[in-house]
Amino acid sequence: MSKRDYYEILGVSRSVTEVELKKAFRRLAMKYHPDRAEDEKREEYEAKFKEAKEAFEVLSDPQKRAAYDQYGHDGVEGMGGFGGGGFGGGGFGDAFSDIFNDIFGGGGGSRVRRGADLQYNLELTLEEAVAGTTVKIKIPVHKTCSACDGTGARKGSKPEVCPTCGGHGQVRMQQGFFSVQQTCPSCRGSGQVIKDPCEVCHGEGRVQETKSLKVEVPAGVDTGDRIRLTGEGEIGDRGAPPGDLYVQIRVKPHPIFEREGSNLYCDVPISFVTAALGGELEVPSLDGRLTLKVPAGTQTHKQFRMRGKGVKPVRGGPQGDLICRVIVETPVKLTQEQRELLEKFGDTLDKSGKKHSPSQKTWLDGVKKFFEDMKS
């Protein structure tokens, strides 16, 4: 059975660079490593992984690649082809080291871990979010244990070199076809073990406390925005840098306004008389009272735009608008006299011969067509 072309296997052209070659092999190795396969696909993954490894081993070696380009598979048969290169030096070993780090979380030498990032959920009123504010918050965090100065060992003692990994923080384990490095299970990558732990922090090197912070909230923030406070997260392991604190913004529902982006919406109920005859009324805004002029014959859900009375976006741009949606209210609890007046008023509308309901005829025509279509 003839072998597939190595360039075809890796999905690259014959002019591929070393960097592009590594990327192509990394992609296939991450995709088809046998330890990532389900049981029924393990055999298929093993075959594709071996095929990609063989192709990369040849093409990453300048001498083998030149022979392969000139003579094909016959040119590299006597050069150690598959598995002859080992893991030492060159692009092949470097790429495998990077890929094993991605797959298994490995890495050379002992490591200390950066502190974890924290999240604080901050609720604001709409007024606070639009204008900006300063908020004091309290968060539970860890600080370096003063009893052991962060070593985790009881005062008078000190951490010892991990006997499992010899202080490297990594152990070599067999993974499928290859011997790879993984984080030491005894010391969790620190390279040290604590035989006599500190009685205050119990060997953690840190203790919990409550920290107060001031959060400067810029004007215009909205639900979903985050404020990053660098270095205000958890402390790192034994001198590693701290994480960050992310303040997640949530704006509470407002009894009057709804916000959509930089615009504010407000429902304004008006009387039947005002809608028919027109008039002026006061409407609220975040800047104070405004006068809304309602023209005669205004229909319900008509929108009036008050330019520049919305929100100034936190990331810049023009200030939004306040959009007032009028809701025409039908009179209730009428007296006998009021009912009679409305009945007379209705009669005058019918006798006038004019179209006083601009949407009614269109709607009735649509209903008539609907029923006609049902019959056909």
Judging by beta carbons within 10 Å of its beta carbon (0-12, 13-18, 19+), is residue 285 exposed, middle or buried?
middle
pLDDT at 91: 46
**Rounded to whole angstroms, how far apart are CA atoms 80 and 57?**
10
DSSP 179-209: EEEEE-TTTTTSSEE-SSB-TTTTTSSEEEE
Could you tell me the pLDDT band of residue 238, with boundaries at 50, 70 and 90? low
- Quote the tokens at residue 253: 């529902």
Model confidence pLDDT, tens digit, residues 54-80: 899 899 888 888 888 888 888 777 665
pLDDT over 80 (residue 203): yes
Q: What is the mean pLDDT of the chain?
A: 83
Determine the longest span between alpha carbons in the chain, in angstroms: 112
**Rounded to whole angstroms, how far apart are CA atoms 182 and 173?**
7
**Rounded to whole angstroms, how far apart are CA atoms 203 and 205?**
6
How open is the CA angle 297-300-303, to the nearest 5 degrees? 90
pLDDT at 143: 80
pLDDT at 280: 94
Contacts for 223 with CB less than 8 Å, ≥ 6 apart: 249, 250, 251
Q: Is 291 left (phi over 0), alpha (psi -120 to 50) or beta?
A: beta
The answer to whether 163 and 184 are in contact (CB under 8 A) is no
**Hey, which residues does 268 pair with through a beta bridge?**
326
Could you tell me the pLDDT band of residue 42, with boundaries at 50, 70 and 90? confident
* Torsion angle in degrees (nearest 10) through CA of 119, 127, 224, 226: -40
C-beta atoms surrounding 343 within 10 Å: 9
pLDDT at 107: 44
Mean pLDDT of 221-227: 94
pLDDT at 334: 92
Could you tell me the pLDDT band of residue 177, with boundaries at 50, 70 and 90? low
pLDDT at 216: 95
Closest by CA to 217, choosing from 126, 138, 132, 315, is: 132
pLDDT at 176: 57
Query: How much of the chain exceeds pLDDT 90, in percent?
Result: 38
pLDDT at 81: 41
**Rounded to whole angstroms, how far apart are CA atoms 26 and 96?**
8
pLDDT over 90 (residue 130): yes
**Rounded to whole angstroms, how far apart are CA atoms 188 and 203?**
13
Mean pLDDT of 145-174: 82
**Domains of the chain (ranges, CATH numbers):** 6-80+87-104 (1.10.287.110), 118-251 (2.10.230.10), 257-330 (2.60.260.20)
Mean pLDDT of 44-57: 88
Phi, psi for residue 295 in degrees, rounded to 5: -75, 160
pLDDT at 110: 44
The answer to whether 232 and 247 are in contact (CB under 8 A) is no
Model confidence pLDDT, tens digit, residues 256-308: 999 999 999 999 999 999 999 999 999 999 989 999 999 999 999 999 999 99
pLDDT at 193: 85
Model confidence pLDDT, tens digit, residues 306-326: 999 999 999 889 999 999 999
Query: Which residue intervals of the chain are DSSP H helices?
Result: 6-10, 18-32, 42-59, 62-71, 90-104, 126-131, 272-277, 336-352, 360-375
pLDDT at 183: 80
**Rounded to whole angstroms, how far apart are CA atoms 367 and 45?**
63
Model confidence pLDDT, tens digit, residues 323-339: 999 999 999 999 999 99
Our measurement of the distance from residue 289's CA atom to the centroid of its chain's CA atoms, rounded to an integer in Å, reads: 39
pLDDT over 80 (residue 357): no
Could you tell me the pLDDT band of residue 105, with boundaries at 50, 70 and 90? very low
pLDDT at 254: 96
Q: Which range, of 164-173, 251-260, 284-293, averages the lowest pLDDT?
A: 164-173
pLDDT at 89: 38
* Between 344 and 80, the higher pLDDT residue: 344
